């Protein structure tokens, strides 16, 4: 893992994606951004991020399906961030080894979860 970890943000909401990107770059993370599940899977394969922030409500592929596809290939830390309040989705994400954070979330909570996931991976 590099000194400046690479975070892949897979989020269809432009405002959230750009805000999270700014927060992370301000805290010395490198960032890749994807607006769709397909684009996110492509960036995951080509760039090997250190951690992934994954929205469940993507326009092309459900985020849980993206999570399953990534888990078939990798144990990269994933934090699911979503507005969904369905307990079943949360449990499925947790069962697939992802952390889970509900929108809206604070930047402190997000940064803490990212740092914890990266530390646990070392």
Predicted confidence (pLDDT) per residue in 49-81, tens digit:
999 999 999 999 999 999 999 999 999 999 999
Q: Environment class of residue 108 by beta-carbon count within 10 Å: exposed (0-12), middle (13-18) or buried (19+)?
A: exposed
Q: Are strands 30-34 and 6-10 parallel, antiparallel or unpaired?
A: parallel
Predicted confidence (pLDDT) per residue in 80-114, tens digit:
998 888 899 999 999 999 999 999 999 999 999 99
Run of H or E residues at 48: none
Q: Hey, what domains does the chain have and what are their CATH numbers?
A: 6-117 (3.40.50.2300)
| Tokens found for residue 51 | 């951690």
Residue 84's pLDDT is 85
Q: pLDDT-derived band of residue 19, with 50, 70 and 90 as boundaries?
A: very high
Cut 0.75: pTM above it: yes
């Amino acid at each position: 893992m590099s000194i400046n970890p690479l975070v892949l943000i897979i989020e269809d909401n432009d405002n959230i994606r750009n805000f999270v990107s700014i927060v992370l770059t301000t805290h010395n993370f490198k960032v890749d951004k994807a607006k769709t599940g397909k684009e996110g899977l492509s960036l995951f394969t080509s760039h090997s991020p250190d951690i992934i922030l994954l929205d469940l409500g993507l326009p092309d592929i459900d985020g849980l399906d993206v999570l399953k596809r990534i888990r078939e290939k990798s144990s990269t830390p994933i934090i699911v961030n979503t507005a969904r309040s369905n307990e079943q989705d949360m449990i499925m994400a947790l069962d697939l080894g992802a952390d889970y954070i509900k929108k809206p979330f604070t930047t402190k909570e997000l940064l803490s979860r990212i740092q914890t996931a990266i530390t646990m991976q070392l």
